[in-house]
Structure 1
Amino acid sequence: MTAPTRTPAAIDAATLSELTKDGSGPRLLDVRTPGEFHTVHIPGAYNVPLDTLRTRRADLLHHLDEDTVLICRSGARAAQAEQALADAGLPNLRVLEGGMVAWEEAQGAVTHGAARWELERQVRLIAGSIVLVSGLAGLAIPGLHLIGTAVGAGLTFAALTNTCAMGMLLAKLPYNRGPRTDINTVITTLRSRP
């Protein structure tokens, strides 16, 4: 029997906006890719991509507390980050409910950089293109349509497990990396913050 999945504590965009008005609010950890982060982020947020957070969580534990809010595009990756940190011994972190989508809808302050497609949009484009091309080519080459079936199975698995292998692969492309996150600089900054 598997352990039940716990729901991380959430904070809504309006409440977080109020807490960050004077610049002294909670620590903000944005777990999106550097490319997504540099496209748009909440001023004062630190970019620690989810894969980096997972590998360096022991280093981060000493500099985070319950006054930390985890952010991603919609809340899913932030919830995974919260779970990873809770498993490492840091419970009670909060996740921005609805992520950057909700933040921007609530007209929260943002810093904009060069526009890039969000990772989720890239996954939809690649998966849809594979299904479309394999489906059309399957009319001429029997069995080729099964590639689309495999992609559909992968997307179903991704939804059920709240992970996405295609998204993780796309996140490694230079387009999505943007300026690299220097985790040591982030840790030093977190250490010096009261």
Structure 2
Amino acid sequence: MTTGTPAIIQATDLQHLIATGSAPRLIDVRSPGEFETAHIPGSYNVPLDLLREHRDELRAHLDEQVVLVCRSGQRAATAEAALAAAGLPNVRVLHGGITAWQAVGAPICTGRARWDLERQVRLTAGSIVLVAVLASVVFPPAKWVAAFIGAGLTFAALSNTCAMGMLLSKLPYNRGPRTDLDGVVAALAGPRP
């Protein structure tokens, strides 16, 4: 039974668990592109949409302590709710996500640099609003495009979801190495990294 508020773990506490050999299973729910850019050593990439769709299959491979990681903690909290609904106990969310992990100077694996999804959403939404406002000088109904984006951002903040971010995560730029259920299950069933 979930309370709606996920159990959290601080970056320093997680770092201590890893250093003492008591590392929980680390599941990073960001896009493969974000994961490739920077991730905690030993973590597994299970993008949020894949986790939500196949939570019952994944549950069979997550019978120990699990810590969910994303950029800031929001997607990890969504993943925690999905795993809790599948009956998985012992799931915590890294408070502040990979951002907090990096802030405490914890070890990180890096790859090709990419913008994180939040930054991409800000660029896309801002660009659409700017173009719509400029276009409204010539074509006044274009202002409604800016209003639609504003309404979408307001809804995203109130519901703690982001349709634009989910759409942007599907772009080839954000995909990085292909992550599918068979690959994730094979990695979870194999020896720990």
CA distances 1:51-76 after superposition (whole Å, capped 9, x unpaired): 00011111111111351000000000
| 1:128 corresponds to which of 126, 129, 135 | 126
**Superposition TM-score, scaled by structure 1 size:** 0.93
Q: State how many pairs are aligned.
A: 191
2: distance between equivalents of 1:36 and 1:97? 18
1:95-174 correspondence runs (5 A):
95-174=93-172
RMSD of the alignment, in Å?
Answer: 1.6
Alpha-carbon distance change, 108 to 32 in structure 1, aligned in 2, over 3 angstroms: same
1:17 is displaced (CA, Å) by 0.6
What stretches of structure 1 of length at least 5 have no aligned partner? none
8 A Cα contact 2:68 2:79, kept in partner? yes
Superposed, 1:1-194 pairs within 5 Å as 6-21=4-19, 24-65=22-63, 67-193=65-191
Gaps of 5+ in 2: none
How many Å apart are 1:24 and its aligned residue? 4.6
Deviation at 1:23, TM superposition (A): 5.2
How does the TM-score come out when normalised to structure 2?
0.94
C-alpha contact (below 8 Å) 1:8/1:92 kept by paired residues: no
Whether contact under 8 Å (2:50, 2:180) holds in the other structure is no
Q: Distance in 2 between matches of 1:108 and 1:98?
A: 13
Q: C-alpha offsets along residues 122-156 of structure 1, whole Å, 9 cap, x if unaligned?
A: 00000000101101111221121110000000011
Pair 23,184 (structure 1): closer, same or farther in 2 beyond 3 Å: farther
